[in-house]
Amino acid sequence: MPIKLSMDQHIPRAITNGLRLAGIDVLTAFDDSSSALDDPALLTRASQLERVLFSMDDDLLMEATRRQRQGAPFQGVIYGHQLRVSIGQCIADLEVLAKAGDPDDFINNVVFLPL
């Protein structure tokens, strides 16, 4: 089953567009009217929608780590540091994860890009 992705409000539009052109199910925080949510609420919202959240925000990475340590469930996070992964590499890696991954593999986990 393909992975559905949720994009936080900091993700460049080019990444979202590239993934959509590749047939990936992507929902942005702006599409969902959740762009004003803080990091904990944004991660909760993505989990409610059964979507893995992609972020380039260090604070969101800290929230995922906090939940892992406390045993608080979340659907999963994919993290790419803004200066360490290009837009093209994000699109390629996210496409692989979305098409080949299993949603259960992401639950309560953080995956780092580049792969």
> Which domain range does residue 61 map to?
5-113
As a whole number, the mean pLDDT across the chain is: 96
The number of domains in the chain is 1
> Which regions of 1-115 does DSSP assign to beta strands (E)?
5-7, 26-28, 52-55, 77-80, 110-113
**What is the C-alpha to C-alpha distance for residues 55 and 61, in angstroms, rounded to an integer?**
8
- Strand pairing partners for 52? 5
pLDDT digits (tens, 9 = 90+) for 59-115: 999 999 999 999 999 999 999 998 899 999 999 999 999 999 899 999 999 999 999
User: What is the pTM assigned to this prediction?
Assistant: 0.95
* pLDDT score at 1: 76
